[in-house]
Structure 1
Amino acid sequence: MSTVRDETMALLRALGMTTIFGNPGSTELPMFRDFPADFRYVMGLQESVVLGMADGYAQGSGRAALVNLHSSAGTGHALGNLFTAWKNQTPLVVTAGQQARSILPYEPFLYAERASEFPRPFVKWSCEPARGEDVPAAIHRAWAVAMEPPCGPTFVSIPIDDWERPATPCPPRTIHTHRLPAPEAIAACAADLAAARAPAIVVGAGAARDGAWEEIIALAQHHQARVWVAPMSARCAFPENHPLFAGFLTAGREAIVRQLAGHDMVLALGGPMHLYHVEGHGPHIADDTKVWMIGDNHVHAAWAPVGSAIVAQVDRAVAMLLNHPAPIRPAPPPRALPAALSDGGMRDAHVLRLLAALRTPDSIIVEEAPSSRGAMHDHLPIIAPDTFYTTASGGLGHGLPAAVGMALARPDAKVIAVLGDGSAMYAIQGLHAAAQWGANISFLIIKNGRYEALHNFGRQFGMQQVVGTHFPELDFVHLATGHGVAARRASDLARLEEALRWSLATPGPTLVEAVVD
């Protein structure tokens, strides 16, 4: 008779989940007995790296990825990037080992107490099946819930002795999850758009997840509406070189009101428009401004402080909006361009301007350099769909492994990981997986020798010194070569150009350490 392992592997194959990301312990090894030849196992040298790689792979492929972790300790290590996957709305099925059922009453070594509760609230659904033979069905349900909008991670705890239990087949079922908006709601939104004097569109990560790039361009042109990027958006949903592109909203209440002044109608697509990072006061939007929000996450609709909401897929909703007429409006004035950079010195802005000049527009940027985000907005425009990814949670340690997962999901593309030196150290072990799999990644480390983001916040709080935040001793060339990745260092623009040209032209993983002022 087939075992739980046999039927689980057959189910995973049918679901297209033949790449497994993991860092196993003793309670997970029976899952991999007689590992199928058509599967691949991607090892991460720390569980947060495993979760980050799976996140990047799932976002790059558009399908749920499977993660296998050790019981409590391994799951605990992964929680930071599980939180990021939750905020990214990334579909993941996370499995973790558990000790044998027969010894669970005695609190055995390396067991998980209340295993299904541990990863909450950062999973959509979790369980430890009541019987071993229920494991395939639990994994199937976890996959279905992970893929149902709003997507997100799920969790299944599996006792070590379940894999050898007899089991019956668990064929996958077809589950359609597309959300169509109500025509009357779209008509009301379209009427407000048409009546507006100066409408604006705000795009969030959900618009990119729903593949609404072309539809949003058409809608913006249809209404001559300026397009802003939502605060802290983790994806790109509109070309940043388009004449209607307006810039990036700041994650602060007063700033959003100020930036959207003059717009009497705002349509937020694919994510929260009012995402705040600092405390603010006063109104959330000007009194005479109407707000509509369209996205697949009902939670965003529930906590939005103002406006009306439609819970639906962005691409389908925008396509319906395009069927409604728009008045003839003059084109709004283009946004003011950033000030020109001087040629002296080597700041992060110089590094990102040079990268923009040398990279191809279809290369994929995976970014985790928080203190350089403003410079990136000014000097590294994203102009093609599905070419920018970052952490939606703000937690560090996601970008480097996510770039590895992205490269595995999209092997024909060049992935460029733009990382701060502090961010890179959260998950530096991910370089090992990049080397093992020959991932086509250019790692660009912007090295300023400290946690610059904390220094920026310290100045806001009136602090003259932020203790314990300097690390000038780090040597990323040696760290990279120690993991099997070729690397070069540059401390001036001439050497940086040479190093970047080498990295971008070299297949497989390479690293450039850019030492900035």
Structure 2
Amino acid sequence: MPTVRRISHQFLERRGLTTVFGNPGSNELPFLAELPASFRYVLGLHEGVVVGMADGYAQATGRPVLVNLHAAAGSGNAMGALTNAVYSRSPLVLTAGQQVRSAIGLEAMLANVDAAHLMRPLVGWSGEPSCAADVPRSLAQAVFEAELHRRPTYLSVPYDDWAQELDDSVAVTLDREVRRGFAPTEDQLAELVGQVSTARNPALVLGGDIDAAGLFDRAVALAEHLALPTWVAPSPHRLPFPNRHRLFRGVLPAGIAPVSTALAGHDLILVLGAPVFRYHQHVPGPYLPEGSRLVQVTDDLGAATRAPMGEALVADPGAVVEALLARTTARGGETGYVPNPEPATAEEALHPEQVFAALRETQTADTTYVVESTSTNSAWWRQMDLRQGSSYFFPASGGLGFGLPAAVGMAMGRPDRPVVAVVGDGSANYGITALWTAAQHRVPVTFVILRNGTYGALRWFGGLLGTPDVPGTEIPGLDFTRIAEGYGVPATTVTEVDELHAQLKAVADGPRLIQVDTQLTTPE
């Protein structure tokens, strides 16, 4: 008779979840035993890095990915990184080992007490099977929940379950299929087409879900078809529209009043694939400018129900984009791209704009950038020219430690595209052990570390909040070249623009790290 382990491995194999990101403890070893040859186990040296790599892999592939964590302590280590995966809507399937069933109530060492509640409310579903025979069904539910809701799930399994034998009837789980569909009705489409067609001055706001769904080019076509000035929703974790396009108006500010000010004069605000809105700085004011109407189209039920204003249509944004293209009269919008300005310079170090201009000038158009440097984002958008989908990724909840691991996962998930991680020196320390995994698997990522010796975003917030004199914002004395070499990644420091260009043009057959001293800048 088949064992729980065998049936579970077969189910995962049939569903394509054969890349496993993990950091195992003793409770996980029985699941990992007899792992089929088709599986690839990617070891991370810290659970936060494990989840960050899996997040990048899931965003790159658009498919669920399996994460294998230890019980309570290991799962707890992963929760910071998990917040990013929640808001990027990454379908991670987190599994964790549990003590043997007879020891859970005793709270033996490494027991995960009340395991199903540990990761809530972050995960969309969590559970622990009621008995060994229920493990395959529970695992299938974890996978399908992650796929349907595009949100991480968590399954805790007592380790003595894996070797239990099952009767052949459990094999029916292997053939299960669960499909998703949110097609808008004809009446809903007709109403939306009418709203857009009769609007005097409509505007378009796009969110990261547009890029995740592969709608980057179709969003461009819609904006040009209807001559729509286009913004990206606040706090973007992906770029859904070319940032140098003539219709691009920028990333909306992450405050209530500034959003309203930015959208003033538009009678209809059509928001596709985004919450309304992911605010950050608390700047109260009217949610919308006077005389405007907001219509949100999203397949995220939570984003639709928690919004404080506007109308929401829960539907596939792709179907809505195609309907608007087919059923509205073209208005002849602007096409083409605007040139980048000359980069700003600095006296004692390179200005971040010089670094980003060098990336733009040396890297191919299909490069994927994983960015975790908040204090330089104004410089980033001034100098980069991103015209393809899946070109930009940022920690979706602002949780530090995303950049280095996610870049490794992205490069593994999409080996056909070059990957560059642009990470600040403060952020880099949170996920630094990802360098070891990159070296072990010879993942071809270019890590660019911007070193300014501070937590730059905190310095900026200090001014914003009227607290400029707080401690803990300086981080001098870090040398990432020596750290990287210790993990097995070749590294160098550059101080001149020409030297930076030369290093970025050099071809590498594995990971490399370039440390650049930069002037401190602010997000705005």
> Does the TM-score normalized on the shorter chain lie above 0.5?
yes
Counterpart selection for 2:190 from 168, 187, 199: 187
Aligned length: 513
1:341 aligns with 2:340: no
Cα distance, 1:182 vs structure 2: 2.0
Cα 1:337–1:285 change in 2 (3 A) is farther
Could you say what secondary structure the match of 1:322 adopts? helix
After TM superposition, list the pairs within 5 Å mapping 1:28-67 onto structure 2.
28-67=28-67
Counterpart selection for 2:314 from 308, 311, 315: 311
Tell me which amino acid in the other structure corresponds to 2:288: I
Tell me the percent identity.
Answer: 39
CA contact (8 A) 1:274 1:284 kept: no
Counterpart selection for 2:503 from 489, 499, 514: 499
Give the equivalent residue in structure 1 for 2:471: 467
Give the equivalent residue in structure 2 for 1:403: 407
Give the equivalent residue in structure 2 for 1:18: 18
CA contact (8 A) 1:246 1:335 kept: no
In the alignment, the residues of structure 2 paired with residue 419 and residue 344 of structure 1 have an alpha-carbon distance, to the nearest angstrom, of 20
Give the equivalent residue in structure 2 for 1:98: 98
In the alignment, the residues of structure 2 paired with residue 321 and residue 173 of structure 1 have an alpha-carbon distance, to the nearest angstrom, of 35
In the alignment, the residues of structure 1 paired with residue 145 and residue 51 of structure 2 have an alpha-carbon distance, to the nearest angstrom, of 18
Cα 1:53–1:172 change in 2 (3 A) is farther
In the alignment, the residues of structure 2 paired with residue 462 and residue 335 of structure 1 have an alpha-carbon distance, to the nearest angstrom, of 39
Give the equivalent residue in structure 2 for 1:359: 363
Counterpart selection for 1:482 from 483, 486, 490: 486
CA contact (8 A) 1:477 1:513 kept: yes
User: Considering only aligned residues, what root-mean-square deviation do their CA atoms show, in Å?
Assistant: 1.7
CA contact (8 A) 1:226 1:332 kept: no
Cα distance, 1:144 vs structure 2: 0.4
In the alignment, the residues of structure 2 paired with residue 467 and residue 334 of structure 1 have an alpha-carbon distance, to the nearest angstrom, of 47
CA contact (8 A) 1:127 1:156 kept: yes
CA contact (8 A) 1:368 1:423 kept: yes
CA offsets 1:229-258 (integer angstroms, 9 cap, x no match): 110111121112222111110001121111
Tell me which amino acid in the other structure corresponds to 2:151: G
Q: Which moved more, 1:272-281 or 1:81-90?
A: 272-281
In the alignment, the residues of structure 2 paired with residue 122 and residue 451 of structure 1 have an alpha-carbon distance, to the nearest angstrom, of 27
CA offsets 1:92-139 (integer angstroms, 9 cap, x no match): 110001111122222111111000100000111111101112111111
CA offsets 1:375-400 (integer angstroms, 9 cap, x no match): 11111122101121111101111121
Give the equivalent residue in structure 1 for 2:522: none
Cα distance, 1:343 vs structure 2: 4.6
Give the equivalent residue in structure 2 for 1:508: 510
Q: Which moved more, 1:428-437 or 1:296-305?
A: 296-305
Tell me which amino acid in the other structure corresponds to 2:515: E
Give the equivalent residue in structure 2 for 1:69: 69
Cα distance, 1:185 vs structure 2: 1.8
1:161 aligns with 2:163: no
After TM superposition, list the pairs within 5 Å mapping 1:224-303 onto structure 2.
224-303=227-306
In the alignment, the residues of structure 1 paired with residue 322 and residue 16 of structure 2 have an alpha-carbon distance, to the nearest angstrom, of 30
Gaps of 5+ in 2: 520-524
Could you say what secondary structure the match of 1:319 adopts? helix
Cα distance, 1:22 vs structure 2: 0.6
In the alignment, the residues of structure 1 paired with residue 322 and residue 232 of structure 2 have an alpha-carbon distance, to the nearest angstrom, of 20
Tell me which amino acid in the other structure corresponds to 1:126: S
CA contact (8 A) 2:103 2:111 kept: no
Normalization by structure 1: what TM-score?
A: 0.96
Could you say what secondary structure the match of 2:161 adopts? helix
Normalization by structure 2: what TM-score?
A: 0.95
After TM superposition, list the pairs within 5 Å mapping 1:395-474 onto structure 2.
395-474=399-478
Cα distance, 1:339 vs structure 2: 5.6
CA offsets 1:264-315 (integer angstroms, 9 cap, x no match): 2111010123221122232111121111111111111112222111111111
Cα distance, 1:45 vs structure 2: 0.1
